[in-house]
Amino acid sequence: MHENGSGKSDVARIDWSGVFVVSVTPFGQDGCLDEPATRSLVELLASEGVTGIILAGSTGEWFTMSNEERIELFRIGRDQVRSVPVLAGISAIATGDAVELASAARDLGLDGALLLPPPYVLPTDRELERYVSAIAEVGLPIMLYNNPGRTGINLDLRWLKKLSRHPEIVAVKESTKDIHQLGATIRGIGDELAVFTGMETYVGALVERGGAGVVGMAPNVFGRLPADLYTALNLGDMQEVRRLQEAIDGLYARMYGGMHNPYVVLKEAMRALGRPGGFPRPPLLPFEGRERDELASFLAGVQR
């Protein structure tokens, strides 16, 4: 390991690129973590072209899980997958909870962590700096997650330059859906942080601007297709890009169509395709009635 001029390690920055997936968490109908399904899923994802797996992120319904359950999920994921980096979703409201999760992930040998600003709290500048610093001091490489719609905090370039002074802050997942901010972030700090877009619908804009990759959800459903899209974009194969992007846009249109939580749509799509996604955990609820038929019809028409 060596350091660049800012004192930051280059290793994590180089390794974290391509297509990372935020894995769903397979729960049984009883609401309990389904360990066999979890092992099957993470092994499947690792075999389908992703370059990293994130456990207990928002897609993994971390907000319904105790710290103990999330740590158990980290253990299962690390035990099952060694071929790609495995990151821990450590987002929490209380600093102590996030530190506990980061420490457990470090001790279990995970490769890093994904961290939101504390949801709901709306911290001051001083409080947010202290929050991130306390967690970074655990000694685990961190990908910051910018999703102001969920947190009320926009980690723009000003914030990222401030927070990235800590050597363990190595990447950012940019989910504002703002292409201008995505471009400004890549241009302004892309040499220091690995800049990812948080949705596959924006991966073309990211590649054009020289970003590091995408942290998405679609591999849960489509397997290798998102990795193929990323490859096609980098090769400039626009005919293939359009074909693959159409499939991903169709999935996202259903995820964010307003009738259901996007994480519920993902699990319903996985069930339709026979993939080990399990059931959502309350307050999230599965589909009812004919909604499954429309989703199944769309999936049947996707060319992989």
Q: Which residues are catalytic?
A: 58, 145, 173
Q: At what angle do helices 225-235 and 238-255 cross, to 10 degrees?
A: 140
Alpha carbons within 13 A on the beta-carbon side of 254: 25
Element holding 118 (H helix, E strand)? none
What is the C-alpha separation between 214 and 200, in angstroms, rounded? 6
Characterize the bridge pairing of strands 194-197 and 213-216. parallel
Q: Nearest-CA neighbor of 182 among 205, 159, 166, 201? A: 205
Position of tokens 């846009």? 249
- With contact defined as beta carbons under 8 Å apart, do 198 and 175 qualify? yes
Would you call 207 helix, strand, or coil by DSSP? Answer: helix
What is the C-alpha separation between 19 and 228, in angstroms, rounded? 10
Task: Give yes or no for a cis peptide into 283 (omega within 30° of 0).
Answer: yes
> Which residues have CB under 8 Å from 222's CB, separation 6+?
247, 248, 251, 302, 304
